[in-house]
């Protein structure tokens, strides 16, 4: 009877299981018009799924709070401003469920991106990785665990730390408000701690643009992959500015399909504060780096 696809069913079940038992049973009564009797949470979830005409109808129910949808999307690696309206969250969830599963997956909790392709297992191998897909999956993984460290979002913090970086990793951080300033750090511990401080202490939230005009990836003949992404910076209900971030990724081991962060270049440009309600109607920033410029990061 349900009009939900397999992916929609799986996602809606995860969201429904986040409701309290009282809310879940009340929602079951609403959806089934009290015509169905259940004895367990599992039965209640199944009844709600079965008697919902579509996923959108279910997500728009009052008892499916926007905070629950936001937390689900964050767990799925879908990055969205924390103060987005519910209709935006519903739209993002529906889009997420319609998106085919990519060939690249991110392993938790280590910063390792896996692919089913044989990626440069030896020099001259004709098979290659889809680096654009790898970059997109890496960014979903990276910003999900980084944003989860922000206490104002009330998310369960994901495992963050120096284990995701090479020992000699470097961070160059430039930010421009009234004047331009820059900082540089070297070593996995210092790099991971400075990035952590941005979200944990300064309460920043990174909202990357993972569309084709906001994300670009190039690779060197020596196995270094540069992933560049643009996006907006938020704190609480305000959009503070835009950022561009370039990551250098190197495979963790020869013949392995896992990656760790070698370098990070982060540029933040402040702007007049815009409330998130207004920012929702503005397009996400596009990446200004050209592929030839990214190649300059190889060194």
Residue ranges of domains in the chain: 6-98, 104-297
Largest CA distance in the chain: 67
Give the DSSP per-residue string, 178-246: SSEEEEEEESHHHHHHHHHHHHHTS--EEEEE-STTTEEEEE-TTSEEEEEEEEEEEETTEEEEEEEEE
What pLDDT does 120 receive?
35
Instruction: Using CB atoms within 10 Å of the CB of residue 109, give its burial: 0 to 12 exposed, 13 to 18 middle, 19+ buried.
Output: middle
Tokens of 47: 């009844």
Buried b (16+ CB within 10 A) or exposed e, 164-191: bbbeebbbbbebeeeeeeeeebebbebb
What pLDDT does 273 receive?
65
What pLDDT does 24 receive?
93
pLDDT digits (tens, 9 = 90+) for 67-97: 899 989 888 888 888 778 899 999 999 998 9
Dihedral sign, CA of 139, 144, 150, 153? positive
Dihedral sign, CA of 55, 56, 59, 63? negative
Which regions in the chain score pLDDT beneath 70? Answer: 1-2, 100-129, 253-257, 273-282, 298-299
d(CA 137, CA 105): 7
Q: Please state which of the four CATH numbers 1.10.390.10, 3.40.50.620, 3.10.450.50, 3.20.20.80 is assigned to the domain occupying 104-297.
A: 3.10.450.50
What pLDDT does 270 receive?
86
Query: Residue 7: in which H helix or E strand, if any?
Result: helix 6-16
What pLDDT does 233 receive?
92
């Amino acid at each position: 009877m349900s009009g939900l696809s397999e992916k929609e069913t799986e996602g809606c079940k995860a969201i429904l299981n986040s409701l309290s038992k009282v809310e879940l049973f009340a929602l079951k009564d609403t959806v089934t018009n009290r015509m169905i009797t259940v004895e367990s949470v599992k039965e209640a979830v199944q009844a709600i799924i079965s008697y919902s005409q579509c996923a959108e109808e279910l997500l728009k129910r009052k008892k499916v709070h926007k905070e629950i949808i936001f937390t689900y999307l964050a767990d799925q690696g879908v990055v969205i401003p924390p103060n987005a309206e519910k209709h935006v969250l519903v739209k993002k969830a529906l889009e997420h469920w319609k998106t085919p599963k990519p060939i690249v997956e991110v392993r938790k909790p280590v910063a390792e991106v896996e692919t089913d392709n044989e990626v440069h297992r030896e020099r001259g191998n004709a098979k290659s990785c889809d680096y654009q897909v790898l970059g997109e999956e890496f960014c979903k993984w990276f910003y999900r665990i980084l944003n989860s460290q922000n206490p104002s979002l009330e998310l369960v913090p994901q495992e963050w730390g120096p284990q995701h970086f090479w020992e000699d990793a470097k961070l160059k951080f430039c930010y421009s408000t009234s004047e331009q300033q820059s900082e540089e750090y070297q070593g996995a511990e210092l790099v991971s701690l400075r990035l952590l401080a941005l979200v944990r202490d300064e309460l920043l939230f990174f909202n990357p643009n993972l569309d084709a005009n906001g994300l670009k990836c190039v690779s060197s003949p020596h196995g270094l992959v540069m992933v560049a992404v643009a996006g907006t910076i938020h704190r609480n209900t305000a959009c503070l500015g835009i950022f561009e971030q370039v990551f250098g990724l190197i495979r963790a081991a020869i013949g392995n399909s896992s990656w760790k962060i070698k370098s990070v270049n982060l540029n933040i440009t402040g702007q007049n504060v815009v409330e998130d309600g207004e920012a929702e109607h503005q397009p996400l920033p596009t990446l200004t780096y050209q592929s030839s410029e990214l190649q300059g990061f190889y060194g």
